[in-house]
Amino acid sequence: MEKIILAGILYEESSLPQDPNLKELEDLVISAGGNVITKMVQKRDKADPAYLIGKGKTEELAQLVWQQGAQCVIFDDELTPTQQRNLEEILAVKVIDRTRLILDLFAQRARTKEGMLQVELAQHMYMLPRLGDKGVTFSQQTGGIGTRGPGERQLEYDRRRVRSRIQHLKKELEAVRQERQTQRSKRLEEGIPQVAIVGYTNVGKSSLLNCLAAPTNGKAPIYADNRLFATLDPTTRRVHLPSGLNALFTDTVGFISKLPTMLIASFRATLEEIKWADILLEVSDPTLTEEVRSAQKEAVEATLKELGAHEYLRLGVFSKADLLEDHHKILLNKKHPQHVLISSQTGEGIVNLLQKIEETIMSQWPRQEITLNISDGHLLRYIYSVGKVLKFKEDDKGKYKLTVQAPKAQLAKIKGAIKKSIQK
């Protein structure tokens, strides 16, 4: 197992909660299979343009690397190509940053073709500005007069090759995006409510979806594990709500602070599932401190804003209730009365959560007055299966008078079916 030293800056002017022990970065390293042997944090007003942490601190770090026998140093902040080159010259070991670590972790976790394409695109976008000049080669020389120039530089060739691969990957992912759009259009035509589960990585999103879908779904459970970015690929499952209505729940990739922008760009095709949701379930871990949860919420907000989904309808969910003492649960309910406290392991709060989801979704549906013939019993059953009947009355002319609340797509289908029935 690779011996790793973590290094970072605690910015003194920052009012955001910072972890001087680099706990999250350590969790990322452990998830990637590394061994953290020690950490170094420097307090600074701003990053040093040449070494990030300053030359003096870098030399101190080099001594620590030699003493501890470390094979790699990972920085919590993103390094510029110049900073990385300068640090490697002094430290004499491999130097990477938080962004590269997350990319490597995503590469380990990617299982589907789509996930692999997305990660590879992000890796190439990260690599492109970091390609160093490797000198002059004569790779393109051919015989004949006027062809004995210096040829193409290796750097220029590498950059051209990477740009070409980026364009190819973007085309492949665009095809995936179009396929998702087709699937999404079919769902929207059906008028089935869409629910997206969002939140920081490792807060229990996949476990929640497994718990919600288990009673009504014969599919294999989603992989869920107590580690960062255990799952990358979004998964959609059909869930029955208390009234009998169906809803589609989608588990999305977890967010994290300082999430690399190239990852958001690469995973946009899958993250866009969030934009089509009727409601977002924002899951958070109540076993963490208020400070940590607040920092995680900021990271989630930043990513949702980048996707244009920060103003969407949301329902807050506290997971892992089985790990809390009763007095802690009471305190959480007092501080966050709008949140739902649940446990995916014991089922605590799940019925309440589904009821709140249903109420919230239905509150957004339009209402429509509908008249049916008594002979149209099949239409009445359909209406009850796709919407909510607020009022029901049978008049003395053999007609049903209903006030129905349902998705726009379903109301349109109902009107069309009634029109056909009248024309018969």
pLDDT tens-digit map of 120-165:
998 999 988 887 644 333 344 444 444 444 555 677 888 889 999 9
- Asked if residues 248 and 187 have their Cβ atoms less than 8 Å apart, the reply is yes
CA distance 202 to 279: 21
Mean pLDDT computed over 384-407: 86
Q: Is-same-fold flag (193-363; 367-423)?
A: no
Predicted pLDDT at 307: 82
pLDDT at 96: 92
299's tokens: 């990271």
Domain 3-105 of CATH type 3.40.50.11060: yes
pLDDT for 20 beyond 90: no
Choice among 129-138, 234-243, 278-287, 297-306 with the minimum mean pLDDT: 129-138
d(CA 229, CA 223): 11
CATH top-level class for 367-423? alpha beta
CA distances from 92 to 53, 58, 70, 317 (A): 16, 11, 10, 47
- The residue count for the chain: 424
Helix (H, G, I), strand (E, B) or coil at 46: coil
Residue-level pLDDT at 217: 53
Higher pLDDT, 184 or 393: 393
pTM of the model: 0.81
Q: Confidence band (pLDDT; 50, 70, 90) for 216?
A: low
pLDDT for position 377: 82
Count of beta carbons in the 10 Å neighbourhood of residue 404: 22
Say whether pLDDT at 191 is over 50: yes
* Separation of alpha carbons 116 and 97, rounded Å: 21
CA distance 249 to 279: 10
Nearest-CA neighbor of 91 among 115, 72, 113? Answer: 72
- Fold held by 193-363: Rossmann fold (3.40.50)
Q: Is the model's pLDDT at 63 over the cut of 90?
A: yes
Determine contact, residues 300/334, Cβ cutoff 8 Å: no
SS3 304: helix
Give residue 135's pLDDT.
37
pLDDT confidence band for 12 (50 / 70 / 90) = low
Q: Would you kindly state where each structural domain of the chain is located, as residue ranges? A: 3-105, 111-135+151-191, 193-363, 367-423
Could you give the CA distance from residue 362 to residue 172 in angstroms, rounded to a whole number?
38
Share the mean pLDDT of the chain. Answer: 83
251, two tokens: 């588990």
Contact in structure between 60 and 80 (CB atoms under 8 Å): no
Confidence class for position 423, pLDDT limits 50, 70, 90: low
2: number of CA atoms within 13 Å, CB side?
16
Determine which of 16-30, 348-362, 383-397 has the lowest per-residue pLDDT on average: 16-30
pLDDT tens digits for range 299-346? 899 888 888 888 889 999 999 999 999 999 999 999 999 999 999 999
Distance between the two ends of the chain, CA-based, in angstroms?
75
User: Residue 149: its pLDDT value, please?
Assistant: 46
| H/E stretch holding 274 | none
Q: For the range 60-64, what are the long-range contacts, defined as Cβ-Cβ under 8 Å and sequence gap of 24 or more?
A: 61/5, 61/7, 61/91, 62/90, 62/91, 62/92, 64/5, 64/38, 64/40
